[in-house]
């Protein structure tokens, strides 16, 4: 289930405020990566699709 789906459900237990904070945190992370895409330490992973992953 996606975060926005949790927010739309009236009878759902999770707090909508927590979902909004999560989305804001994701936005901040994406903006930071857009400004400095090579930020973080380069990881060496086995999978071809995981080449050049940073964390």
What pLDDT is recorded for position 25?
Answer: 92
pLDDT along the chain (55 residues), means of 10: 60 71 89 86 88 82
What pLDDT is recorded for position 48?
Answer: 87
Pair of tokens at residue 22: 């999560």
Residue 27 lies in a domain: yes
Residue 40 lies in a domain: yes
Residue 55 lies in a domain: no
Domain membership of residue 16 as a residue range: 3-50
What pLDDT is recorded for position 14?
Answer: 60
Residue 24 lies in a domain: yes
What pLDDT is recorded for position 33?
Answer: 84
What pLDDT is recorded for position 55?
Answer: 78
Residue 41 lies in a domain: yes
| Rounded to 5°, angle at Cα 44 from 40 and 48 | 115
State the total domains in the chain.
Answer: 1
What pLDDT is recorded for position 54?
Answer: 83
Alpha helices in the chain (DSSP H): 3-8, 16-35
Q: Please give the sequence-ordered ranges of beta strands (E in DSSP) within the chain, or none if there are none.
A: none
């Amino acid at each position: 289930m996606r975060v926005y789906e949790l927010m739309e459900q009236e009878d759902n237990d999770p707090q909508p405020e927590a979902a909004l904070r999560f989305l804001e945190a994701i936005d901040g992370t994406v903006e930071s990566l857009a400004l400095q895409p090579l930020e973080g330490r380069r990881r060496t992973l086995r999978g071809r699709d995981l080449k050049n992953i940073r964390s």
